[in-house]
Structure 1
Amino acid sequence: MSQIVLQSNEHVGSYYAATANDTTVRPQLDGTVEADVCIVGAGFTGLSSALHLAEKGYKVAVLEGSRIGWGASGRNGGQIVNGYSRDMEVIEKRYGREAAVALGDMSLEGGNIIRERIEKYNIECDYKPNNVFAAFTSKQMRELEDLKRNWATHGHDGLELLDRSQLDEHVTSQAYIGGMIDKKGGHIHPLNLCLGQARAIESLGGRVFEMSRVEKIRKELPKPEVETAKGKVIAKYVIVCGNAYMGKSIPELYDKTMPVSTQVICTEPLGEEKCRELLPSDTCVEDCNYMLDYFRCTADNRLIYGGGTSYGGQDPANVPAVVLPHLLKTFPQLKGVKVDYAWSGNFALTYTRIPHFGRMNDRVYYAHGYSGHGVTCSHLAGRLVAEALDGDAKRFDHFAKLPFYPLPGGQLFRVPYNVIGSWWYQMRDKLGI
């Protein structure tokens, strides 16, 4: 069984790392490089930003402290889930109709960008369409009905409610009473999607440097300088895309997000017949609990199953011990299944659960804090920041002008504060209220 070693700059021992289709090692930054734009971080946000800019003719340099897709972008559940971590109805109540319309108009764009990239650059990342939301209770079914109704006002016509028998066409677990399918969702091999976009950037003249952790950004200069241990990039613009692994490298942003760990396991090969027995339509699934589980089958017919969270980004000592009981509650027929891979990874949580886009000055931009919805929203972020640097910041500023706050409790108490809140919502899920 593969286990993670977070201290390492190499990829964790995940199924994705074991099946990566590009093992090219990019060079470490050594010396001085000049670029139009320096992008910090080679995850989905950084790669999306760099590729959009390279397509517009900008000279880009991407700095990655470890390997391409080393963080959440190369470790996640691989599910293309549309929207944000807060429903459009919540966004409208909190920020007003104008903001809701603007964010709603962009809410499907991230998934579309992924599909466009796969087709345009022939990226082999095991793309499959559709995703399903599975409900345990009648309350959750009512919430899905409300969600479908609200999404329709923002032009999403790909949702279909499923009763118990209809859900069986997609997932055969007896744990659920119904659900909803999103025909504009899907699932992918996330690390191979990262690697494919990196190759696309390089094909357009962009440069990607690995093992090049940023130590300082001299953002006060007319042309900001981004310094690493062995070199620096001098650029007209800088985009900071470190997300949950940014740490204290950018002090101004440090207290605005909190790393949250989620755990994933991948079984031994089950065979196509068993996988179609579990997931007849080969869709991906996430349940409707506050602390949700998510699962799907891989291209080589294994089951990837994830769930659980650890506020503050601390990883459990034994990932299978945390996740396997959830898998067996969903699919008791898999009792005795062997786990071949187990890993963990962090996503960045914001207080509002809405991503933070903004500027540290007119030359240094940032985008992060997707709060569990990063696969799609990070790709949208890359397009929006590229538009802003290219002279049209209207769409970027719909996000940038939203208020955001430090997580309450400060560095000492923010973890227990969020743990207490999560207990409350888990209790509500169990009681069906």
Structure 2
Amino acid sequence: MRPSLKDHIKTDICIIGAGYTGMSTALHLAEAGYRVVVLEASRIGFGASGRNGGQIVNSYSRDIDFIEKHYGQNVGKEMGQMAFEGGRILRRFVKDYNIQCDLKEGGVFAACNNRQFRELEEKKALWEAHGHKGLELLDADQIKAHVGSDRYAGGLLDNTGGHFHPLNLVLGEAAALESLGGTIYEGTPALEVQEGSMAVVKTESGSVTADYVLVAGNAYLNGLLPKLEAKAMPCGTQVITTEPLPESVQKKLLPKDNCVEDCNYLLDYYRLSGDGRLIYGGGVTYGAREPSKIESLIVPNMLKTFPELKGTKVDFAWTGNFLLTLMRLPQFGRIGSNVYYAQGYSGHGVTCSHLAGKVISDAIRGQAESFDVFAGLPQYSFPGGRLFRIPFTAMGAWYYNLRDQLGV
């Protein structure tokens, strides 16, 4: 574990949170010659960055057509131009810094019914209209070449999707930052952010004075900025990992070693790990409650997809928090002139957080056009405040889950 901060220091950039948003921003700025200090309350990748499903999924939790409808064609066009950049940034970091994270190419969206397959046809047309290539529609027979299950009515292969070891990626990014002269303090919660011509971040045993601060704690701000936390809600997702599977079983389940997510509102997602385990995730617990038995929530879904895995041992199970916004779009903004924040990727954090790093670093360097597109999106608090946001959101999830079950 890296040391905690026990001094009063000055730097160009202070970043709160050592996840993908923090590491991407830190790397972009360090590459441009800035002095960067990162404060992490726990360990690098402790939150969603180290515990996610490890899938490169393009665009946002709300797709470009939703953005066009609600915020106008110009905003849709601007965000559409950035919707596929996060995966490219991630791959550049892996290549430039030789990060060993089992990166593999290709992701499949799997349709559980004909309605979802029609929606995938629309997604393909939408993404291609915004310049995204490498998409292939798969009918009910073709998808079996990618997923060894009878569960699906078809799918969409995104050849620019992919999967990787999520914790190893963020650890590799941290090592890359340190190779460029950046400093990371672990076990150092930020207790207060003071605005001013120079911002000051106070910790238990020290402080950082910086020209700019980025707050990138996402679902783990723990009371640091209450007004910011009121705009989003922590949610938990669950993941299990089987014992290593025989190679013949791996080939049967996922013949081309793609990652998969289905098209349900409460979706399932899965992939093979570098050592041949099936990693299977899904489900949502609103309000970040810890489920008592993760296996009981996820194993039935896994067996519905792959019944031949009945009796397979589950070696690991975990949960972690992501941050949901009311509109399911990320929230970027400034507090004063020099305190930036990015949060609320609503389940699409892997690619969007890496994009955020570039967008925020560009803004700090004086090129704020892309940042201002995101910052211009309305940021609503959940109706009813903290007391009612969980039941309201859970009711909405119940409705959409029922639609998925009925196929309407």
TM-score interval w.r.t. the shorter chain? over 0.9
Partner residue in 2 for 1:19: none
Deviation, 1:247, is: 2.8
**Residues 205-227 of structure 1, C-alpha deviations (whole Å, 9 max, x = no match):** 100110000111112x3211101
Q: Provide the rounded CA distance (Å) in 1 between the counterparts of 2:248 and 2:30.
A: 43
Return the match for 2:370 from 395, 398, 421.
395
Residues 323-338 of structure 1 aligned to structure 2 (within 5 Å): 323-338=298-313
**Residues 413-433 of structure 1, C-alpha deviations (whole Å, 9 max, x = no match):** 100000110111011111111
Partner residue in 2 for 1:255: 230
Partner residue in 1 for 2:179: 203
Partner residue in 1 for 2:52: 76
Q: Provide the rounded CA distance (Å) in 2 between the counterparts of 1:344 and 1:387.
A: 33
Q: Percent identity?
A: 55
Q: Provide the rounded CA distance (Å) in 1 between the counterparts of 2:378 and 2:110.
A: 32
Deviation, 1:297, is: 0.4
Partner residue in 2 for 1:44: 20
Deviation, 1:157, is: 1.4
Partner residue in 2 for 1:183: 159
Q: Provide the rounded CA distance (Å) in 2 between the counterparts of 1:135 and 1:142.
A: 9
Return the match for 2:122 from 146, 151, 175.
146
Deviation, 1:246, is: 1.2
Q: Which amino acid aligns with 2:19?
A: G
Partner residue in 2 for 1:213: 189
**Residues 21-55 of structure 1, C-alpha deviations (whole Å, 9 max, x = no match):** xxxx2111111121100000000000000000000
Partner residue in 1 for 2:138: 162
Tell me the SS of whatever aligns to 1:247. Answer: coil
The question of 1:319 aligning with 2:294 is answered: yes
Partner residue in 1 for 2:149: 173
Counterpart contact for 1:271–1:302, Cα < 8 Å: no
Q: Provide the rounded CA distance (Å) in 1 between the counterparts of 2:335 and 2:247.
A: 50
Residues 91-130 of structure 1 aligned to structure 2 (within 5 Å): 91-130=67-106
The question of 1:57 aligning with 2:33 is answered: yes
Q: Provide the rounded CA distance (Å) in 2 between the counterparts of 1:37 and 1:61.
A: 6
TM-score, length of structure 2 as denominator length = 0.99
Return the match for 1:381 from 356, 360, 372.
356
The question of 1:358 aligning with 2:320 is answered: no
Cα root mean square deviation, aligned = 0.7
Deviation, 1:158, is: 1.5
Deviation, 1:317, is: 0.6
TM-score, length of structure 1 as denominator length = 0.94
Q: Provide the rounded CA distance (Å) in 2 between the counterparts of 1:147 and 1:353.
A: 18
Tell me the SS of whatever aligns to 1:168. Answer: helix
Q: Provide the rounded CA distance (Å) in 2 between the counterparts of 1:339 and 1:254.
A: 35
Q: Provide the rounded CA distance (Å) in 2 between the counterparts of 1:400 and 1:271.
A: 48
Select between 392-401 and 221-230 the one with higher mean Cα deviation: 221-230
Structure 1 residues without counterparts, runs of 5 or longer: 1-24
Q: Which amino acid aligns with 2:325?
A: T
Partner residue in 1 for 2:251: 276
Q: Which amino acid aligns with 2:136?
A: E
Deviation, 1:60, is: 0.3
Deviation, 1:172, is: 0.8
Counterpart contact for 1:215–1:227, Cα < 8 Å: yes
Deviation, 1:409, is: 2.1
Q: Which amino acid aligns with 2:148?
A: T
Q: Provide the rounded CA distance (Å) in 2 between the counterparts of 1:343 and 1:317.
A: 11
Q: Provide the rounded CA distance (Å) in 1 between the counterparts of 2:42 and 2:338.
A: 25
Residues 224-235 of structure 1 aligned to structure 2 (within 5 Å): 224-235=199-210
